């Protein structure tokens, strides 16, 4: 952006056209790009375009662009009621491993879970997992296995839950091994998790 050029400082709810958005993307200013990603999701007219642009920015070097890209994907799911799950869910799961973006990606996945019935466990690269849920209020992780069994791990505070995603541990490379130190009990039926539409097909 040229020195002295006006930076947009209005609301993320202000409508924006594709041409306006493209001009911002071409200029390359991270602050404005992050803002535009939210404007496209919250006040744009094309959900597919908003989703595409958000997905293109989930690996941006600027942390706020990555955060807003994750948030925008959650808004697209809620507002436009359309989403390419095969691209969006893996992208958000990858962002969960980013310590600076974890909370934003987690919130977006919760939007997908609430509005689309998506369950992140069904999309993780672990053939044992069918569904996964976490309640920060109860500090409980619920795991549904592909064999139908359901287990609840207790005492998992939010910091520990975050660490399971964002901290690399060669001795415990997968989520189930990281949950192993926490008390576990078998449930008769899921309480937190829901089967995703993908798993039900």
**d(Cα 197, Cα 123) in Å, to the nearest integer?**
11
At 31-65, the pLDDT tens digits run: 999 999 999 999 999 999 999 999 999 999 999 99
- Residue 199: the pLDDT is 38
pLDDT score of 194? 53
Phi, psi of 117 (to 5 degrees): 70, 15
Tell me the pLDDT band of 106, cut-offs 50, 70 and 90. Answer: very high
- Sketch the domain layout of the chain as residue ranges: 1-118, 120-201
61-77 tens-digit pLDDT: 999 999 999 999 999 99
Task: Report pTM.
Answer: 0.85
Structure tokens at 123: 């999309």
């Amino acid at each position: 952006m040229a020195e002295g050029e006006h930076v947009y400082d209005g609301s993320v709810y202000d409508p924006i056209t594709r041409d306006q958005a493209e001009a911002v993307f071409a200029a390359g200013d991270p602050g404005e790009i992050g803002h535009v990603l939210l404007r496209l999701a919250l006040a744009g007219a094309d959900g597919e375009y908003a989703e595409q642009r958000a997905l293109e920015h989930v690996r941006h070097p600027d942390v706020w662009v990555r955060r807003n890209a994750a948030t925008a994907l959650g808004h697209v799911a809620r507002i436009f009621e359309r989403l390419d799950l095969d691209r969006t869910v893996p992208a958000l799961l990858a962002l969960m491993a980013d310590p600076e973006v974890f909370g934003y990606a987690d919130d977006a996945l919760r939007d997908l879970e609430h509005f689309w019935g998506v369950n992140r466990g069904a999309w993780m690269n672990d053939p044992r997992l069918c569904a996964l849920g976490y309640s920060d209020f109860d500090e409980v992780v619920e795991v549904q296995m592909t064999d139908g069994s359901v287990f609840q791990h207790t005492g998992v505070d939010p910091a520990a839950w975050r660490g399971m995603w964002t901290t690399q541990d060669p001795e415990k490379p997968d989520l189930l091994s990281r949950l192993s130190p926490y008390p576990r009990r078998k449930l008769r039926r899921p309480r937190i998790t829901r089967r995703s539409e993908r798993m039900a097909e």
